[in-house]
């Protein structure tokens, strides 16, 4: 049995995927804008959670290796938090890390 791995089309970065999928131009524009807003909102939330973790590390004068032990993650994972590499974390994971240091997260919808 053979698996087809041929690449037939690659969407360019920044292109409107919805337009390429065949949605009407107005609908594709609306869907693209909505998806970009959701992506941005998620990134901002992750950055806020990462800021809380980074401030905790700084307040306790911890080296990344020490913070990693307390957080029960690897030192490179702590580096990813400190350097705001949002794509490497889910919101759930960041909430879990904050919970591990006694900082419960409360959600407020505005």
97 in Cβ contact with 81 (< 8 Å): yes
Give the separation between CA 96 and CA 59, rounded to whole angstroms. Answer: 19
3-state secondary structure of 84: coil
Which tokens in the block code for residue 100?
């591990």
Which pLDDT score is estimated for 14?
A: 82
Which tokens in the block code for residue 44?
């901002």
Taking the CA atoms of 9, 11, 17 and 20 in sequence, report the sign of the dihedral they define.
Answer: negative
Domains, the chain, in order of start with CATH, read 20-100 (1.10.260.40)
32 in Cβ contact with 18 (< 8 Å): yes
pLDDT in tens, the chain (110 residues): 889 888 888 888 888 999 989 999 999 999 999 999 999 999 999 999 999 999 999 999 999 999 999 999 999 999 999 999 999 999 999 999 999 999 999 988 88
Which pLDDT score is estimated for 71?
A: 97
């Amino acid at each position: 049995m053979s698996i087809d791995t041929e690449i037939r089309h690659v969407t360019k970065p920044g292109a409107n995927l919805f337009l390429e999928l065949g949605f009407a131009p107005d609908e594709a524009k609306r869907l693209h804008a909505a998806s970009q807003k959701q992506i941005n909102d998620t990134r901002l939330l992750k950055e806020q959670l990462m800021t809380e973790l980074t401030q905790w590390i700084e307040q306790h004068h911890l080296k990344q290796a020490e913070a990693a032990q307390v957080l029960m993650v690897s030192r490179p994972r702590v580096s990813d938090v400190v350097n705001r590499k949002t794509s490497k974390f889910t919101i759930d994971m960041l909430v879990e890390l904050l919970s591990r240091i006694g900082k419960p997260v409360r959600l407020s919808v505005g």
